[in-house]
Structure 1
Amino acid sequence: MAISGCNQAVNIKKPDNIEPLVHETLIDGVLSNDASMAITLGRSRILSVWDVTTSQLLHQWSDDDFDETNYLLALSGNKQYLATAGKHKISIFNLETGKLDIRWPAQGFNPDASISSLFLSQTGSTILVGMNDGSITVIQRSSMTMSLFKQHSAAVNHVELSNFEQQVLSTGLDGDVHIWATYSGELINSFSRPQQISSVSYDEANRRLFIADALDNNVIIDTQTALPVSKLDYLERYRYFRQALFINHSKNLITATSKQSVIYWDTLTGKELSHWDITAYTAGTTVFSMVLKPNGKLLTLSSDGALETWSL
């Protein structure tokens, strides 16, 4: 079905498949990069690991298995390790055995700081922990060494490794986006938006970077030149992007809003190609995670705990 809006025709899609994994809203949820595994953390504090293909439950833990309530999840790229975080402690699970691997307290420069973001590397050997005082800890599991850097002036809401794990991409509620050396903390490049950063995404080659803040300020940047390439073109005011994903060698971008909308863009022109809404089972439904499946279809995990597959 096509409708006309914002002076252009856009296609409204329906999901190819819907699979509710849990029947409660989620605190957090994450999909593996290859779309074969889903992790859900429900409001009941049940933490579950799922096989996406079969919907089979692989592992499950309850709130009693943790020292404190969890709020954040991170999955290693190879799917062997799962990290969970409460306000002050991190737990790492080995997903091959289902056993707790290690648990330790996190800290920032401010002794009262709490955890605000979390990331695991491809093998799970490097852990990034962002704190609400603007500090970031880089942890090497093999040597259990920790390096603490003060990179932001407000809470860190996103951290990830890039460029063969030699660089860190971090964003904060201060509106800053920093690219910096993993081991020294040296700033390599920096970008800023007027408001807090709501969404950020690298392409596969780390050559394109999408940044959006809580108002209308978004941009796609060439990381080699640090120059803007384009921006998303729309008429609505205050469109808030929660997630973003580059596909097709950065020719296209998929974004998810703070509500139910998923939008497919041409990154060169910034034009919307199509958009659709995920299935909402409760008020305030949004996308927690989205990845491209090997067959070229998009897989989304909603805050209602539902998997949906989409043809692009």
Structure 2
Amino acid sequence: MRAISQYIAIFVITLTLSGCFFSNSDQQRWEVATQGTTSFALSRDARFGLFFVKKGSNAINTDSETKSGLHFWDLVDNKELTYFGAQDQHDSTVSHITISDNSRFAVTATQTNFAVWDLGMGISEGLWSISDGIIRDIDIASNGQQVLLGLSNGKAIYIDLATGRRLEFLAHREKVNSVALSANGKFALSGGNDHFAYFWDTQTGQILHAFEHEKRVNRLALQRDGKYALTADGGNEAFIWNLKTGEKISKLRTFARQQVFSSARFSDDGHYLMTGSPSGSVMLWDTLSGKKQEQWRSEPLKDARPPTAVVYDVAIDKKQRVVSATSAGIAQAWLIE
């Protein structure tokens, strides 16, 4: 009887903990692309979404499919604002999208070229090609003129599109997997397969702080006021750093053997960090303690085998909800308890 009671207690505790760790109850959702997306970015306040749909992607073809190309969506009014179409003449797959901190501009990238868009005017600012490496990540400053790229050849390249100035940051010895650019374009964060993340000055190329990991660095984030940075690797190390001192503030506390992030963003005040994973998990962390506050599971793509939902972006909206955007072509709003 004692053994049976112990098994029942363990079962009840397991169910209780499962309820604490995951919640699938979103407060609102937007199914903007029934066949899924190859990339999907949110504005800082989650008001807008920019996503790319590729013909013949994962889901079974239906009459309700969204047209192939780039779509700019207003999530508050739940309507499309602009259809940009293909990025280039070959209708290449857009694999990276970032919306500027002020929501006015966006940069999109295929493996070999990138484009800048004026979201307010609904027009393209131009298309640029990269010939010396594959684009692995990209970011843009608020004025829409400075762009930062992470390349497969180990370079992080800062480009001022207005002046033509180009600075190649060569500290990395292997592929650069993730980059982040400050809103004013003056500071950059880059991380790569060499197990290092560097915080550096885009005017001089000088390294301000170096953050070392045990494994390949694959996800970065900058807090918009320059207080904090996140560096995360492909294993189980994710750290939050004080950018003024270079000192470690916290390590994200997770019980998983491996915790890989596909997206990350700090709240405006820096109190929270939001992350998304390739498996569809959306998490909210306390910045100073590194403790996980909430966790949700995003909706997978319908009719896909296996069901998938890579979390491409996360943000907090004006209603103080965490909003996720995924490869399923779905944005979901989660209430912070």
Judge same fold: TM > 0.5, yes or no: yes
Q: 1:192 to 1:199 in 2, by over 3 A?
A: same
What is the aligned counterpart of 2:117 among 90, 93, 113?
93
Shift of 1:64: 7.8
Could you report, residue by residue, the CA deviation over 1:45-70 in whole angstroms, capped at 9, with x for unpaired residues? Answer: 52111111122222224448534613
Give the structure with higher Rg (CA). 2
2:182 is the alignment partner of 1:141: no
* Paired residues of 2:87 and 2:115 also in contact (CA < 8 A): no
Quote the residue 1:32 is aligned against. 43
In structure 1, the gaps of 5 or more residues are: none
Query: CA RMSD for the aligned pairs?
Result: 2.4
Q: 1:59 to 1:219 in 2, by over 3 A?
A: same
Could you report, residue by residue, the CA deviation over 1:113-172 in whole angstroms, capped at 9, with x for unpaired residues? Answer: 222211111110111122110112222122222222323222222222228432111111
TM-score by length of 1: 0.88
Quote the residue 2:255 is aligned against. 235
Please tell me the residue identity of whatever aligns with 2:48: M
Quote the residue 2:89 is aligned against. 66
Please tell me the residue identity of whatever aligns with 1:174: D
Quote the residue 1:289 is aligned against. 313
Query: Matches of 2:317 and 2:211 in 1, distance apart?
Result: 31
**Greater mean alpha carbon deviation, residues 158-167 or residues 52-61:** 158-167
**Greater mean alpha carbon deviation, residues 251-260 or residues 29-38:** 251-260
What is the aligned counterpart of 2:332 among 286, 292, 308?
308
The runs of at least 4 consecutive aligned structure 1 residues that moved more than 4 Å come to 8-11
Q: 1:182 to 1:31 in 2, by over 3 A?
A: same
Q: 1:114 to 1:233 in 2, by over 3 A?
A: closer
Shift of 1:292: 0.8
Q: How does 1:181-220 map to 2 (within 5 A)?
A: 181-220=201-240
**Greater mean alpha carbon deviation, residues 242-251 or residues 272-281:** 242-251
Shift of 1:243: 2.2
Query: Matches of 2:294 and 2:125 in 1, distance apart?
Result: 43
Quote the residue 1:23 is aligned against. 34
What is the aligned counterpart of 1:276 among 288, 291, 296?
296
Please tell me the residue identity of whatever aligns with 2:159: I
Query: Matches of 1:175 and 1:290 in 2, distance apart?
Result: 25
Considering fraction of residues, name the structure with more strand: 1
Query: Matches of 2:286 and 2:112 in 1, distance apart?
Result: 41
Query: Matches of 2:288 and 2:265 in 1, distance apart?
Result: 15
TM-score by length of 2: 0.82
Shift of 1:32: 1.0
Query: Matches of 2:42 and 2:90 in 1, distance apart?
Result: 25
Q: How does 1:110-125 map to 2 (within 5 A)?
A: 111=132, 113-125=133-145
2:69 is the alignment partner of 1:49: no
**Greater mean alpha carbon deviation, residues 209-218 or residues 194-203:** 194-203
State, as a whole percentage, how many aligned pairs show the same letter. Answer: 21
